[in-house]
């Protein structure tokens, strides 16, 4: 697992070794148990509850590794540059600037530079992805009605 800072200093990615596969799959099974309350056991045998945000990251990392994927982690500050925001949305920087100017995503100015709050970007991404899923469902339903799917 690599960690990149806001300055994009990258460490190498991590991929599970073959002999670790069964352990990783067992960890994934345990993490996916409904109403599971994950805890770490400290050196003094003290149980420490894992916060929800860390638990979600852990589940994503374990799932990716169970699929044999390499894992890297990129860290961001609470405010992102327009390039970081564009990268997270997987869009070009000019397209992101257009979204900012249209008011689709709030931003602040720091000197002459625009900054996007991480929370605002995630909210936009979730809304965008939800709309895309809804449109895809509608397209599939229309295609079924027209007999394109059997």
pLDDT digits (tens, 9 = 90+) for 43-78: 888 998 888 888 888 888 989 888 888 888 777 778
- Higher pLDDT: 9 or 53? It is 53
DSSP E strands in 15-147: the ranges are 39-41, 47-49, 72-74, 79-81, 108-110, 113-117
pTM of the complete model beyond 0.85? no
- The domains found in the chain, sorted by start residue, are 2-74 (no CATH), 79-145 (1.10.1660)
Phi, psi of 114 (to 5 degrees): -85, 145
- Higher pLDDT: 147 or 10? It is 147
CA 40 to CA 48: how far, in whole Å?
5
Res 13: pLDDT: 76
Q: What is the mean pLDDT of residues 1-27?
A: 67
């Amino acid at each position: 697992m690599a960690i990149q800072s806001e300055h994009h200093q990258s460490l190498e990615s991590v991929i599970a070794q073959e002999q670790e596969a069964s352990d990783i799959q067992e960890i994934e099974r345990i993490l996916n148990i409904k109403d599971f309350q994950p805890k770490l056991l400290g050196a003094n045998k003290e149980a420490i509850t894992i916060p929800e945000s860390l638990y979600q990251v852990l589940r994503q990392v374990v799932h990716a590794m169970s699929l044999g994927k390499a894992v890297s982690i990129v860290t961001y500050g609470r405010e992102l540059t327009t390039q970081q925001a564009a990268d997270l949305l997987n869009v070009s920087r000019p397209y992101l600037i257009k979204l900012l100017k249209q008011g689709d995503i709030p931003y602040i100015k720091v000197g002459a530079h625009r900054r996007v709050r991480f929370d605002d970007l995630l909210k936009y991404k979730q809304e965008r992805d939800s709309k895309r899923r809804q449109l895809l469902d509608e397209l599939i339903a229309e295609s079924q009605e027209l007999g394109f799917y059997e």
